[in-house]
């Protein structure tokens, strides 16, 4: 069996463990399964896109994209329709600009096709190589803070505050209490080096949620499902529903470009950050092995997702949770895809795990991704300032791509002001100019 795994998933029995890879896949699934509930909720604002159909399309996009990543790229990353990109699809393109959802799906399809071309011509790999090593290290730490921030929000430990933007929630009750208890349970398991500690932490936290109520509703944080199995809804109403009449319009050009921009740098940041946090980047040349295949898997997944009837499919930063559990090969991604397939039929069970239960996993993974900051030259402000901006802007702007863009801009400006022009490549000059134009005109 292991030789088959080696051929299919890049599994090496001398380095990897089947049980670890499968548990890592389940951990990744549990930390990103929220998209199965969130995506239909977001698309429910659009007439003609039934929630059940969007749920099925979301799962199918995740399954196909993650399988391509597993079998072709042989990497432990999972894909699904991206958060932020789905909101841009619904609230900006459709509700804000007044475009039909068919128009927006067409833009996603075109974006995916362009990404395939950019990947085959190695433009995307060239962009990664152009990012200085200092920023690559900062990206890993920034993503760590970002996903930890997501976890703190999901648990209600950090909440909205109109006066200060964010503040501490009511941590002695409700889901915040569940999240804090779960955090210390998960931390204890990880510190004790229990195999699958993050996963066991998620499950233990979900069980605790059964006994703690939400003070606002009086309902338990973890609600036991009333049924176990349900058949998937048909995607016929949204399958391949494209609108070709406006593909040459300026609106289409602007929308496609925005999708491209957000997706490219979100994916780039995730791949760099998770590899950096797991120590998988080649030391010396800072190269990421197999990056072209990962990008191609991401591109093809976007095309498939558009055909199924959902927004841009992208590589998920929550993959870091599975990598944190020891996942290193395509077997991890394959396991995640299998769990997404099961979710099509067992959605009541999987969706019963609340955000408060997965929050501790995201926080712990955030800790795991911080060591890369040790190798940043903090005494050299030309490097330290761009690195800090990259790190801090990801959680504060709630965007991996904005963190990268602002980091690149600040890197070029800091080195130019210091007169260190020889440290700025032509590519970085071009990227900084493009990114500045993006903030001015888009």
Residue 209's pLDDT is 95
Inter-residue contact 186 to 312 (CB < 8 Å): no
Which range of 3-12, 122-131, 177-186 scores highest in mean pLDDT? It is 177-186
Residue 236's pLDDT is 94
Structure tokens at 170: 């009511």
Quickly list DSSP for 167-229: EE--TTSHHHHHHHHHHHHHHHHHHTT-TTHHHHHHHHHHHHTTSSB-TTT--BSSPPPS-S-
Q: How confident is the model at residue 86 (pLDDT cuts 50, 70, 90)?
A: confident
Which range of 37-46, 82-91, 227-236, 269-278 scores highest in mean pLDDT? It is 227-236
Q: How confident is the model at residue 285 (pLDDT cuts 50, 70, 90)?
A: low
User: Could you tell me what percent of the chain has a pLDDT over 90?
Assistant: 46
Q: How confident is the model at residue 259 (pLDDT cuts 50, 70, 90)?
A: confident
Q: How confident is the model at residue 284 (pLDDT cuts 50, 70, 90)?
A: low
Give the residue carrying structure tokens 């936290």. 205
The closest of 104, 441, 57 to 255, measured between CA atoms, is: 104
The closest of 335, 273, 421, 399 to 30, measured between CA atoms, is: 335
Average pLDDT across the chain, whole number: 88
Q: How far is CA 152 from CA 38, 309, 393, in A?
A: 17, 31, 17
Q: How far is CA 35 from CA 45, 146, 208, 310, 313, in A?
A: 16, 17, 23, 12, 11
Query: Side-chain half-sphere of 69: how many Cα atoms within 13 Å?
Result: 36
Residue 278's pLDDT is 67
Partnered with residue 158 across adjacent β-strands are: 168
Distance CA 125, CA 290 (A): 10
Domain ranges of the chain: 2-143+222-350, 377-441
Average pLDDT value for residue range 293-299: 91
126's torsion region: left (phi>0), alpha (psi -120 to 50) or beta? alpha
Residue 214's pLDDT is 93
Q: How confident is the model at residue 198 (pLDDT cuts 50, 70, 90)?
A: confident
Q: How confident is the model at residue 379 (pLDDT cuts 50, 70, 90)?
A: very high
Q: Provide CB contacts within 8 A for 71, sequence distance 6+.
A: 8, 9, 330, 334
Query: 371 pLDDT exceeds 60?
Result: yes
Average pLDDT value for residue range 22-48: 87
Name the packing angle between helices 2-9 and 18-32 (round to 10°).
40
User: Could you tell me what percent of the chain has a pLDDT over 70?
Assistant: 96
- How many angstroms from the chain centroid is the CA of residue 24? 16
In degrees, to the nearest 5, what angle opens at C-alpha 79 toward C-alphas 154 and 33? 35
Distance CA 293, CA 307 (A): 21
Distance CA 197, CA 184 (A): 12
Average pLDDT value for residue range 200-208: 91
- Looking only at Cα atoms, what is the longest distance across the chain? 66
Average pLDDT value for residue range 427-431: 92
Q: How confident is the model at residue 123 (pLDDT cuts 50, 70, 90)?
A: confident
pTM: predicted TM-score of the whole model, two decimal places: 0.78
The closest of 44, 52, 55 to 91, measured between CA atoms, is: 44
Which of these ranges, 3-7, 227-231, 250-254, has the smallest mean pLDDT? 3-7
pLDDT tens per residue, range 136-188: 888 888 888 988 998 899 899 999 999 999 999 999 999 999 999 999 999 99
pLDDT tens per residue, range 319-365: 888 988 889 899 999 999 999 999 998 877 777 788 898 889 889 88
Distance CA 388, CA 137 (A): 11
> What's phi and psi for 49, nearest 5 deg?
-120, 85
pLDDT tens per residue, range 390-426: 999 989 988 877 888 899 999 999 999 999 999 999 9
Distance CA 348, CA 230 (A): 8
Query: 16 pLDDT exceeds 90?
Result: no
Q: Which residue has the higher pLDDT, 204 or 1?
A: 204
């Amino acid at each position: 069996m292991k030789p088959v795994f080696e051929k299919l998933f890049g599994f090496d029995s001398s380095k990897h463990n089947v049980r670890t890879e499968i548990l890592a896949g389940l951990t990744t699934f549990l930390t990103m399964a929220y998209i199965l509930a969130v995506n239909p909720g977001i698309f429910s604002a659009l007439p003609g896109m039934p929630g059940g159909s969007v749920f099925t399309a979301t799962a199918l996009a995740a399954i196909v994209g993650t399988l391509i990543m597993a079998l072709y790229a042989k990497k432990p990353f999972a894909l699904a329709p991206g958060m932020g990109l789905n909101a841009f699809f619904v609230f900006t393109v459709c509700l804000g600009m007044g475009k039909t959802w068919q128009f927006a799906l067409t833009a996603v399809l075109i974006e995916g096709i362009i990404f395939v071309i950019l990947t085959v011509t190695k433009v995307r790999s060239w962009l990664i190589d152009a990012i200085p090593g200092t920023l690559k290290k900062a990206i890993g730490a920034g993503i760590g803070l970002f996903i930890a921030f997501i976890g703190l929000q999901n648990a209600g430990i950090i909440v909205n505050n109109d006066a200060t933007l964010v503040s501490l929630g009511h941590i002695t009750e409700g889901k915040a209490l569940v999240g804090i208890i779960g955090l210390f349970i998960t931390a204890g398991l990880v510190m004790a080096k229990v195999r699958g500690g993050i996963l066991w932490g998620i499950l233990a936290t979900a069980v605790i949620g059964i006994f703690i109520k939400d003070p606002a509703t009086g309902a338990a944080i973890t609600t036991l499902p009333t049924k176990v199995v349900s058949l998937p809804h048909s995607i016929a109403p949204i399958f391949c529903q494209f609108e070709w009449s406006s593909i040459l319009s300026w609106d289409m050009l602007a929308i496609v470009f925005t999708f491209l921009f957000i997706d490219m740098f979100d994916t780039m940041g995730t791949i760099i950050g998770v590899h950096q946090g797991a120590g998988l980047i080649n030391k010396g040349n800072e190269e990421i092995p197999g990056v072209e295949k990962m990008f191609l898997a991401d591109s093809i997944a976007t095309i498939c997702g558009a055909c199924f009837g959902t927004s841009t499919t992208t590589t998920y930063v929550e993959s870091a949770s599975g990598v944190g559990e020891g996942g290193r090969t395509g077997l991890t991604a394959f396991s995640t895809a299998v769990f997404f397939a099961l979710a099509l039929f067992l959605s009541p069970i999987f969706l019963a795990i609340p955000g408060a239960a997965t929050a501790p996993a995201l926080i712990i993974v955030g800790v795991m991704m911080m060591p890369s900051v040790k190798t940043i030259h903090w005494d050299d402000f030309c490097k330290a300032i761009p690195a800090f901006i990259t790190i801090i802007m990801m959680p504060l702007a709630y965007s991996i791509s904005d963190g990268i863009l602002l980091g690149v801009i600040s890197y070029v400006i800091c080195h130019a002001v210091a007169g260190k022009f020889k440290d700025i490549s032509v590519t970085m000059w071009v990227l900084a100019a493009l990114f500045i134009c993006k903030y001015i005109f888009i």
